[in-house]
Amino acid sequence: MSFWKKLKSGLSKTSQTLTQGITSVFTHKKLDEETLDAFEDLLISTDMGVKTATELRDLLKKQRLHQEISEPEIKEWLAEEITKILEPVAASLTIDKKPHVVLVVGVNGAGKTTTIAKLSQQWQEEGKKVLWAAGDTFRSAAVEQLQVWGDRLNIDVCTTKSGGDAAGLAFDAFQKAVQNKANILCIDTAGRLQNKKHLMEELEKIVRVLKKAEPSAPHTVLLVLDATTGQNAIDQVKIFQEIIGINALVITKLDGTAKGGVVVALAKQFSIPIIALGVGESAEDLKSFDASDFSRALVSA
Ligand SMILES: Nc1nc2c(ncn2[C@@H]2O[C@H](COP(=O)(O)OP(=O)(O)O)[C@@H](O)[C@H]2O)c(=O)[nH]1
Ligand SMILES: [Mg+2]
């Protein structure tokens, strides 16, 4: 399936909600307040956030009140406005250090481990050498899961004993990455958000210890978010920002939700680069984030 088709089918739950909504909202011949209100509600229902929805409503009102507006026109307009919101955060990850350390954080089940595998496969295809550290040491299944992917992709996985010290592991993995001349070291972490203090201590310790090996590390702190959690993803960004500071986002499971508008809400609220989107479970289902492609797929414009 082509890149575009996969993105479109991945976002289909959200785009169906949006396009069916547009059909049922824009029934009056000319744009009036009632239609604008319903339009705002529709945008909110896809988790674009109240701020985005209100701003788009006000903008449409200013530009088109009492005028005729067709369905293709409104879709085109919406796609363009969403593109403008997304453009500042649509970015790819720049790998400029060797080894470049990517610390991957996020709550359990968000898609950290699969995202590491998917990103690493792409890096390998670009000829980069990758090493992993299985820093989610509390769940033995998590370590095994990484090892299964590692065997499949022929990537070495640094591990420690169950419940072992993730910071020590990260330190050792960094040394190994230097020795093996790896381009990228990806560190998986535990995501036990229910114990915020523990999580904070653990992540802080990983960063502190990594800095002993290389003061500029970690170069990327990547937060993985599950789109199906909708507005909850916004809270997760705030929490992880506070705990550790984030400079990249990946949003997964866009294929399983009508809440894909959360990508727009995240772009609007935080200026954190979104480096990729997950639209399925297999390795080719991680897509680079292009503002215009995403908006057009979302709105079916
Ligand atoms: N449908 C879908 N499933 C995903 C996506 N990303 C991850 N998953 C699934 O979500 C589940 C949790 O992912 P995992 O990487 O183990 O999460 P972690 O706990 O954060 O490491 C797994 O079953 C993955 O296959 C995605 O983009 N789409
Ligand atoms: Mg995991």
- What domains are there in the chain, each with its CATH number? 3-89 (1.20.120.140), 100-289 (3.40.50.300)
Q: Distance between CA atoms of 235 and 231, rounded to whole angstroms?
A: 7
Mean pLDDT of 80-92: 96
What pLDDT score was predicted for residue 301? Answer: 79
Question: In angstroms, what is the span from residue 163 Cα to ligand 2's centroid?
Answer: 14
Q: What is the pLDDT of residues 20-31, one digit of tens each?
A: 999 999 999 999
What pLDDT score was predicted for residue 60? Answer: 98
Residue 50 in this model has a pLDDT that exceeds 90: yes
Residue 194 in this model has a pLDDT that exceeds 80: no
Mean pLDDT of 257-274: 95
Helix, strand and coil in the chain, % to nearest 5: 55, 15, 30
**Confidence band (pLDDT; 50, 70, 90) for 200?**
confident
**Confidence band (pLDDT; 50, 70, 90) for 89?**
very high
Mean pLDDT of the chain: 94
Considering every ligand atom shown, identify the ligand nearest to the alpha carbon of residue 142 and give its number: 2
Residue 82 in this model has a pLDDT that exceeds 80: yes
Evaluate: CB of 281 within 6 angstroms of ligand 1: yes
Question: In angstroms, what is the span from residue 142 Cα to ligand 1's centroid?
Answer: 12
What pLDDT score was predicted for residue 125? Answer: 94
Phi, psi of 237 (to 5 degrees): -60, -45
Percent of the chain with pLDDT over 70: 100
Minimum mean pLDDT among 58-62, 170-174, 211-215, 282-286: which range? 282-286
Evaluate: CB of 255 within 6 angstroms of ligand 1: yes
Q: What is the pLDDT of residues 120-162, one digit of tens each?
A: 999 999 999 999 999 998 888 889 999 999 999 999 999 998 8
Question: In angstroms, what is the span from residue 170 Cα to ligand 2's centroid?
Answer: 16
Within its chain, how far is the Cα of 171 from the centroid?
26
Evaluate: CB of 220 within 6 angstroms of ligand 1: no
Smallest CA separation from ligand 1 atom 10, residue: 111
Which residues have a Cβ under 8 Å from the Cβ of 191 and sit 6 or more positions away? 105, 106, 107, 108, 109, 110, 112, 136, 199
Mean pLDDT of 151-178: 95
**Confidence band (pLDDT; 50, 70, 90) for 101?**
very high
Question: In angstroms, what is the span from residue 104 Cα to ligand 2's centroid?
Answer: 10
Question: Which whole-number Å values give the CA distances from 3 to 199, 210, 288, in the listed order?
Answer: 37, 37, 10
Q: What is the largest CA-CA distance in the chain?
A: 69
Considering every ligand atom shown, identify the ligand nearest to the alpha carbon of residue 225 and give its number: 1
Considering every ligand atom shown, identify the ligand nearest to the alpha carbon of residue 118 and give its number: 1
Evaluate: CB of 260 within 6 angstroms of ligand 1: no
